[in-house]
Structure 1
Amino acid sequence: MTISFDEIPYDWLKPGNYTEVKANYDRMGKVAYPARTLLITQKLAAGSAAALQQVRITRPDQGRALFGAGSVGADMVETYKLANKTGDLYAIGVADAGTGVAATGSFTFAGAGGGPLPLYVGKVRIPLAVTAAMTAAQIASAAAAAINAVATLPVTAVAALAVCTITAKHKGEVGNGLQLAVARRQGDSVPAGLTVTVAPLSGGANNPDITPVLDAIAAQWFSDIVVPWDDATTLTALAANLAARYQAMGKKDGHLYVGHAGTFGALTTKGGLTNAPQISGMGAKASPSPPWVWAASLAGVAAFQLANDPARQLRTLALPGVEAPAEADRFSDTEQDLLLKGGISTFNVSDDGTVSIDRVVTTYKVSPLGVTDRAWLDIMVPKTMSRVRYDWASYVSLLYPRSKLAEDGSLAAEADDSGVVVTPMRMHGSWSARCQKYERWGWLQNTKETVRQSVFAIDDTDNDRLNARQQVNIIGNMMVLASSLEFWA
């Protein structure tokens, strides 16, 4: 028998009892998975964080100081921490693009009437009290003052004659996702004799360039990433970057979450911008919560739950901080099914207005040859594969850190009882043992068969390299129950 030691010299002669201590990883449990989320945000000039400076977030109110009150960054930090209080969270802010254009909208008043007049910017209610003696111009001025008094709003206001013009604090397309409304909630009303015309925010253009951010995080691991932008240029760049990070030589798996705002047709178009297993988007029509809030809330829930169990679906989980669109603006079951097939995740709304996850899919829809392909449909697929790959690589590194490699049946392998010599068969056995744990943890299924189909062999031209084809079968989820309910006629 040959026993190899790491610390005790092979020719030591001095009498004594010498014992080296080391861990045996044969029966180790799950390898701790480094779940880390990065919020990529827009910052205002008032924010204390330097552009492209990564900051670790521990409290929900940090975003206001770092990125400015009323900023996209403040909203994203607060929403994420509402959905995920314990996750390891970082944020990186970028300034508005120099060529950016801010979105604008307006409230236009006409007539006269006395009583409460509730205006809404997003989900924030701005209460006004108007009198019958006030002119339309005076009401517009009062509205502007009330809006500007709320420093956390993502807009500013200015009055001219009977028009209260609303301008997004940020330049770029983000402002287009903000909703303006009047008397929106049940019980609200507009005083008799007064009319308010709402012009939605629009015209925001030119988002910040994502390239400097990707360069800044090139060497870092983030399991989950959130962005407030859903334009084609940004998403195309992120899809390519995430694909490279997910590859074998990248080893920096990450999943992107993005929010969308628009009609059914607009969301269908957004889903078609990418075909990426590492991107999940959720959208709504006319939601009081802007797209970046949807993205941050979804990311917070998914990052927490999928770190605990990467193979379990997210259905029925609430999205904290997200306010549902009005019932008339919600998509039908048929529309939701089409959105899912088009790469857009879906949600449900309960009677009390709680927004919950219906199904989270990726934007991957077709194979590289253009054939419809559902291999990467659900977010659990890339998340489970990432988890298995990370766990297996870590396990092998711990179990065989300095091992030799020999053919099965060789004298070196037969004489070794210390695990110093690895053979294809021994590695195959380790894979089998690990897969049994993956199945017990509910990540995989049918591992006895998939392990049998897996192959390990020393490379024909490099005896320092062990090649493998490892088969897995990811466990399914109870998504659809289809049954035929029959009766005796």
Structure 2
Amino acid sequence: MSLGTIPDDIRVPLAVIEIDNSQALSSAPAQSRKVLVIGHQNDDGTSVALTRSRITGDGMSGQLYGKGSMLAAMLKIFRKANSYTETWAMSVPVPEGAAAKASLTIIGSASAAGTLALLVNGISVQIAVAESDDKDTVAGAIVTAMTAQPETQVTAALKEGLTDTVELTANWPGSTGNGMDVRLNYYTGEQTPSGLGVTIAGFAGGTGTPDMSAVVAAMGDDWFTDIVCPFNDTQSLNTLRDELVTRWGPLKMIEAQLWTAFRGTHAESGTFGHARNDWLISCMSTNIAPQPHWQWAASYGGIAAYYLAVDPARPLQTLVLPGILVPVKDIRWDLQERNLLLHDGIATHFVDAGDNACIEREVTMYRVNQYGDTDTSYLDVQSPATLGRIRYIIKNRFTNRYPRHKLAGDDVLDRLDPGQPVMTPKIARAELLDIALTELVPAGLVEDFDDYKDTLEVDIDSNDANRLNFIAHPNLVNQLRVLAGLIQFKQ
């Protein structure tokens, strides 16, 4: 009889008893998700670029990354959506380029006192206007009010050579700044004081993209199950896509899903989605919403990370995106428009009766196979999420129970001494079936156990006697997305 590490020839009395935990777990422990949020920091932030910090409180982001920074804004909204999941942040060096700018030109003079209600990147900035205030006075008041609101993520100053025009400049250079927003009278009841007018030129002129290869290198081999990314330019997403695919592979098995968003018109959103084909990336459409896309990405990623940890196969549809302001009514997309975006690989939202932005369908950006033919195998984010969970459970079972076993054919089973640490194809098959029957099926991750059992193959490799191969065909459960019916009534 073999008893673990106790030598067979020990003669010293009396009792020698080993404790072995390999059979202690009847199922895999809950899989914890770990989120990485990336973005730019301001110069007044205390963090060092490309270093990771664990975020455990709401006040940390402003201190580490500076008030009014992209990353601080993302973390604030992320924690509204999800303050439970382990979250790390890493600032990305700003690119070489120009910062996006917008301008507000004031027209006329106030004929009555009132409040000029601005909304800058979702932050309300209200300017008290007195009767007879002229355009220059109002412009100066805007600069003062904006300076007192660093969370707008912009700086304000009078445009050079002008006294009636305020120029807003993004706090960092790069093309991301073009996704910022400034508007008037977003909330019901807000109106521009009589006699005044404001002409707005939206954010534009931002150039430059960050170096994602440096981000990938800084991540190392740490396992982040979710990455929240504000950068949706082609080069950045291509670099991250390649890293995600590598992490998914069998030699690493530290899979992650990336959550991002795109701000633009329906045509721009569809064009953006149709240009990509990424099964580990999900991009939420924002329309021309009052907040930049990186804040949508943070809320979306926070909700996804939390609920997929609870159940990777359950749909996210109808879940509210906390901290998100919805597009105004007259530009919201109808069902047909949203359906087109879903075919373009763009996730969609809808606005509920309480004016909340809610996830409608959380698709990946994967649309076609390598030959360009339609492929729905990774249509929804639940497919890679569920497969990752299945792999985790199988890996956990075998690494816990059989870490130092020998490998032999099934013919030895009836001849082995009790306790011999020997693995055979038959034992492995039994374990794989037990995993399916006791963990995967009860958790609602797979269905059709009989087919799984009939098609499961386990064999010792013909070219390597130390390698055990298996091929399994789990039938993933699906999500209730559409209820379609026909009511044929009688009178």
Same fold (TM over 0.5): yes
Write the distance in 2 (CA, Å) between the matches of 1:302 and 1:353. Answer: 20
Change in CA separation of 1:450 and 1:60 when aligned onto 2, cut-off 3 Å: same
Shift of 1:209: 1.1
Shift of 1:14: 4.0
- What's the counterpart of residue 109 of structure 1? 106
- What's the counterpart of residue 100 of structure 1? 97
Moved more, 127-136 or 276-285: 127-136
Moved more, 26-35 or 366-375: 26-35
Q: Which amino acid aligns with 2:419?
A: S
Write the distance in 2 (CA, Å) between the matches of 1:15 and 1:104. Answer: 83
How many pairs are equivalent?
485
> Within 5 Å, which residues of 2 pair with 1:264-413?
264-410=266-412
- The answer on whether the counterparts of 2:123 and 2:151 sit within 8 Å (CA) in structure 1 is no
TM-score (ref. length: structure 2): 0.96
- What's the counterpart of residue 435 of structure 2? 434
Q: Secondary structure of the residue that 2:410 maps to in structure 1?
A: coil
> Within 5 Å, which residues of 2 pair with 1:88-167?
88-97=86-95, 99-113=96-110, 114=112, 115-159=114-158, 160-167=162-169
Moved more, 356-365 or 129-138: 129-138
Q: Which amino acid aligns with 2:141?
A: A
Write the distance in 1 (CA, Å) between the matches of 2:417 and 2:76. Answer: 57
Q: Which amino acid aligns with 1:347?
A: H
- What's the counterpart of residue 18 of structure 2? 20
Q: Which amino acid aligns with 2:135?
A: A
Q: Secondary structure of the residue that 2:61 maps to in structure 1?
A: helix
> Within 5 Å, which residues of 2 pair with 1:24-43?
24-25=22-23, 28-43=26-41
Q: Which amino acid aligns with 2:31?
A: Y
Which structure 2 residue ranges, 5 or more long, are not aligned? none
Shift of 1:153: 1.7
Q: Secondary structure of the residue that 1:434 maps to in structure 2?
A: helix
Write the distance in 1 (CA, Å) between the matches of 2:163 and 2:234. Answer: 39
Q: Secondary structure of the residue that 2:224 maps to in structure 1?
A: coil
- The answer on whether the counterparts of 1:455 and 1:469 sit within 8 Å (CA) in structure 2 is yes
Write the distance in 1 (CA, Å) between the matches of 2:356 and 2:388. Answer: 31
Write the distance in 2 (CA, Å) between the matches of 1:448 and 1:52. Answer: 49
- 2:210 counterpart of 1:208: yes
Write the distance in 2 (CA, Å) between the matches of 1:208 and 1:466. Answer: 44
Q: Secondary structure of the residue that 1:270 maps to in structure 2?
A: helix
Write the distance in 2 (CA, Å) between the matches of 1:325 and 1:54. Answer: 34
- What's the counterpart of residue 479 of structure 2? 477
Shift of 1:25: 2.8
Q: Give per-residue Cα distances to partners, 1:141-178, cap 9 Å, x unaligned.
A: 11111111112220111123211111111111221111
TM-score (ref. length: structure 1): 0.96
Write the distance in 1 (CA, Å) between the matches of 2:23 and 2:392. Answer: 16
Q: Which amino acid aligns with 1:7?
A: T
Shift of 1:423: 0.9
Which structure 1 residue ranges, 5 or more long, are not aligned? none
- What's the counterpart of residue 184 of structure 1? 186
Change in CA separation of 1:460 and 1:450 when aligned onto 2, cut-off 3 Å: same
Q: Secondary structure of the residue that 1:457 maps to in structure 2?
A: strand
- The answer on whether the counterparts of 1:236 and 1:273 sit within 8 Å (CA) in structure 2 is no
- The answer on whether the counterparts of 1:60 and 1:82 sit within 8 Å (CA) in structure 2 is no
Write the distance in 2 (CA, Å) between the matches of 1:40 and 1:378. Answer: 24
Q: Give per-residue Cα distances to partners, 1:229-277, cap 9 Å, x unaligned.
A: 1111111111111111101112210110111100011111221342111
Write the distance in 2 (CA, Å) between the matches of 1:206 and 1:354. Answer: 33
> Within 5 Å, which residues of 2 pair with 1:190-201?
190-201=192-203
Write the distance in 2 (CA, Å) between the matches of 1:136 and 1:238. Answer: 47
RMSD of aligned Cα (Å): 1.5
- What's the counterpart of residue 454 of structure 1? 456
- The answer on whether the counterparts of 2:81 and 2:322 sit within 8 Å (CA) in structure 1 is yes
Write the distance in 1 (CA, Å) between the matches of 2:60 and 2:281. Answer: 27
Shift of 1:218: 2.8
Q: Give per-residue Cα distances to partners, 1:76-109, cap 9 Å, x unaligned.
A: 1111111111111101102211x22111111111
- The answer on whether the counterparts of 1:362 and 1:379 sit within 8 Å (CA) in structure 2 is yes
Q: Secondary structure of the residue that 1:481 maps to in structure 2?
A: coil
Write the distance in 2 (CA, Å) between the matches of 1:100 and 1:206. Answer: 5
Moved more, 324-333 or 129-138: 129-138
Write the distance in 2 (CA, Å) between the matches of 1:166 and 1:62. Answer: 26
Write the distance in 2 (CA, Å) between the matches of 1:10 and 1:353. Answer: 73
Write the distance in 1 (CA, Å) between the matches of 2:417 and 2:150. Answer: 71
Identity of aligned residues (%): 32
Shift of 1:460: 0.9
